[in-house]
Amino acid sequence: MNFWTKVAGLILRNRYLVLIGIAIITGLLASQMKYMKFSYTEANLLPEDHIANLDYNRFLEIFGEEGNLVILGIKDSTVFTPKKFNAWNNLVQKFDSLEEIDFTISIADVQKLKADRKQRKFVLEPLYDKEPTTTEEVQEIKKQLFEKLPFYDNLLFNKETGTLQTAIYIKKEIINTPKRRDFIFNTLIPAIDKFEKDHNVDIRVSGMPYIRTLNAQNIQDEILLFVLGALGITAVIFFFFFRSFRATFITLLVVMTGVIWAFGFIGWFGYEITVLSALIPPLIIVIGVPNAVFLINKYQQEIKKHGQQAKALQRVISKVGNATLMTNITTASGFATFVFVKSSLLREFGILASVNIISIFVLALLIIPILYSFMPLPKKKHLNHLETKWIENVVNWMEKMVKNQRITIYFTTVIVIIAAIIGVYKIKVSGSLIEDMPKSLEFYQDIKFFESEFGGIMPLEILVDTKKDKGVMSLSTLKKMEKINEAIEAFPELSKPISITNVVKYSKQAYYKGNPKYYQLPTSQEQSYIFAYTKNSNSDASMLKNFVDSTGRYARITTFMKDIGTEKMNVIQERLKEVIAKEFPSDKYEVSVTGKALVFIKGTNYLIKNLVISLSLAIFLIAIFMAWMFRSPPMIFISLIPNILPLLITAGLMGFFNIPIKPSTILVFSIAFGISVDDTIHFLAKYRQELITNNWRIKPSVYGALRETGVSMFYTSIVLFFGFLTFTLSSFGGTIALGGLVSVTLLLAMVSNLLLLPSLLLTFEKKIANKKVFKEPAIRIIPPDEDKIKE
């Protein structure tokens, strides 16, 4: 009696205990779901010790969180009328009084810097003392602001278009907590909606906290959409193939239990739900259904063959159990390779996916035979699908192609490979933070509005370390920083920079009675008496605190990026580095370019390198696995070709259809490879069984394996195809691309495994046809077919 026969007996004899055990574990994991939490920060794709992360963390230590800015914009000429102008400023002042807000900057907050000649210091005076009551007063304020205060240009207004901008700084201590979400949804959005309705204006809202909050909410909403979509579509297809409510119900029960386990594991492991981990529950549904297809199909084949339920159930576990375990292990291995990547985001995804894939296998193997043991035998109508004419025609066509058209298959394969390689060279890399965001939603349109009006919303920071206290305020340092500002302004993809140099230029303008033509850095002669005013005033100090640290050693230059890809960002970064290297000698200064958007772009490049490593590792692991199972070196080569080919085609399609490689689409290859290998294992396992039955004759064995496994492989591939297509319901561009690409890849993998794999076996039959080469496997994947042996 072999191992799996014992396992079958153990499961069926203790079926009540097994079901109680599953119920208890499901209950315990369901109780862990309350610990699930959504991510309130952007995904960090880099390892913690990466230089880009170290630079960014150093910046945060000195200046604090840089992603705490929410911006409001209004482009409406009627805002420069007394009623709307005052209402707009009052709205901002209401936000300023909230406990979640650190401070706000709007037109109402504008302070004019003036030189007090008597006390030889700068003082701040409000732009206006009382609320304007006439249009003339508002227009005078606008004229003062637009024509005489260049310091605030691109910070609070765009003088070319008349657009106003207001900055709301959320307190840094709540920026990465649920309180941020509560403020955005319960306070900010309702207040803006009311203002728009009351005053008939359109307010644009953006900034990283706002974008991240709405993005997280979209992910949360889509999890339910994916789970229901995957359940619905797989149930419909399953019923279409099996025409059995009973089989469909059992399958749905298995995968729904798997979904509860998936959510439970996320809570138990303390992982945050990100755009990647949100894919785990629907992924488990899509991968779980093929397990059910193989098990139920085998059960019905056995019932049709001999009509004995106990024998059929025992054979389902003993024959399909081992093959299904192998396929699930290979799928899990494909995902488990992410565990070796230093990126915590991918590592968590890899752990969750591999654990849940093995879990769904265990659930299917236990629940399906046990529930069938309580039910009457399937009726004849439930077995009719085994003889469906159109399925038989498909299998006959495949057999005919393998038998008579092998040259055509190989020729087509070569043509496809050449086309795919051409496509691969067209692939681009994208490291954009907002590219995947739902383009149909209002907040994406608002991002584009701020890009066109103010140059972007994603902060890019340059940290200048002068290596000595008060080193920032030396004129030579300020002039060097101004060179960086000029380099930044040369790029249309970046906004006008904000730094200490803006404050110093404003100080000179104030010294010369507010004349805008003096908005420039002081000369060395002017430096001494202008800086003397600065030392005596508190007003300058309050303006400096956001740009220089308390010791005067560190300064920041802040600019905002448009939604640009990796290539453009690399050009900008190289140009900035050239200016920095020229202006700031490394023995006196240490200058780093950082910011969340830059870290994300570097993370994308890092992921691509790791993709190659993890995919190579997955291929290597599966090659080892094949060698261990079949003990045949030629079989490793033959089994890998049909699985690598679909990946190459997918990469080619990405190039031709301009789908860039990015964190979301990077998973396509590992998911598709891990799943497509399953078909190969099922086919080769059946093929080996047929070899023994047919006394090592290759041709009948190949055709026998094709007929036996073709139906199940066709069923599972169709289920997988439509299952992954549910991801195209997403509003995230990357998830849509992921769903479409994996669907196409798995369909190609099915064709490859049912046409190319049998063709290769027949072509290389002399090398693999004898027992010496194709040795007894280390483990028997499918036990010999007793019925055929008796015949």
Kindly report, residue by residue over 148-161, the tens digit of the pLDDT. Answer: 888 888 888 888 88
Closest to 732 (Cα-Cα) out of 448, 435, 446: 435
> Which pLDDT band holds residue 23 (cuts at 50, 70, 90)?
very high
* Domain extent listing, the chain: 3-42+213-425+600-790, 51-209+442-599
> Which pLDDT band holds residue 97 (cuts at 50, 70, 90)?
confident
> Which pLDDT band holds residue 538 (cuts at 50, 70, 90)?
low
The arrangement of secondary structure in 3-42+213-425+600-790, i.e. its CATH architecture, is: Up-down Bundle (1.20)
Sheet containing 554-561, strands listed edge to edge, beginning at the edge strand earlier in sequence: 554-561, 458-465, 590-594
Question: Looking at the predicted structure, is the pLDDT value of residue 75 above 80?
Answer: yes
What pLDDT shows up at residue 734? 73
What pLDDT shows up at residue 28? 94
Segment 749-768 shows an average pLDDT of 81
659 within 8 A of 428, measured Cβ to Cβ: no
What pLDDT shows up at residue 791? 39
Where is 465: in which H helix or E strand? strand 458-465
What is the amino acid identity at position 230? A
Question: Looking at the predicted structure, is the pLDDT value of residue 405 above 80?
Answer: yes
> Which pLDDT band holds residue 25 (cuts at 50, 70, 90)?
very high
Closest to 739 (Cα-Cα) out of 282, 421, 348: 282
How many CA within 13 A on the CB side of residue 316?
31
Average pLDDT for the chain: 82
What pLDDT shows up at residue 356? 93
Q: Return the bridge partners of 459, or none.
A: 560
User: Bigger pLDDT: 772 or 576?
Assistant: 576
Least confident of 82-91, 145-154, 668-677: 668-677
Segment 558-567 shows an average pLDDT of 80
Question: Looking at the predicted structure, is the pLDDT value of residue 441 above 70?
Answer: yes
What pLDDT shows up at residue 386? 61
In degrees, to the nearest 5, what angle opens at C-alpha 16 toward C-alphas 10 and 20?
110
Question: Looking at the predicted structure, is the pLDDT value of residue 543 above 60?
Answer: no
Question: Looking at the predicted structure, is the pLDDT value of residue 22 above 90?
Answer: yes
What pLDDT shows up at residue 328? 83
What pLDDT shows up at residue 537? 57
**Rounded to whole angstroms, how far apart are CA atoms 755 and 69?**
57
**Rounded to whole angstroms, how far apart are CA atoms 390 and 715?**
13
Output b/e per residue, 582-598; b: 16+ Cβ within 10 A. Answer: ebbeeeebebbbbbbbb
The per-residue pLDDT for range 362-403, each reduced to its tens digit, is 999 899 888 988 888 777 665 665 666 777 787 788 888 888
* DSSP secondary structure letter of residue 225: H
Segment 424-439 shows an average pLDDT of 75
Question: Looking at the predicted structure, is the pLDDT value of residue 787 above 50?
Answer: no
What pLDDT shows up at residue 769? 52
What pLDDT shows up at residue 784? 52
363 within 8 A of 257, measured Cβ to Cβ: yes
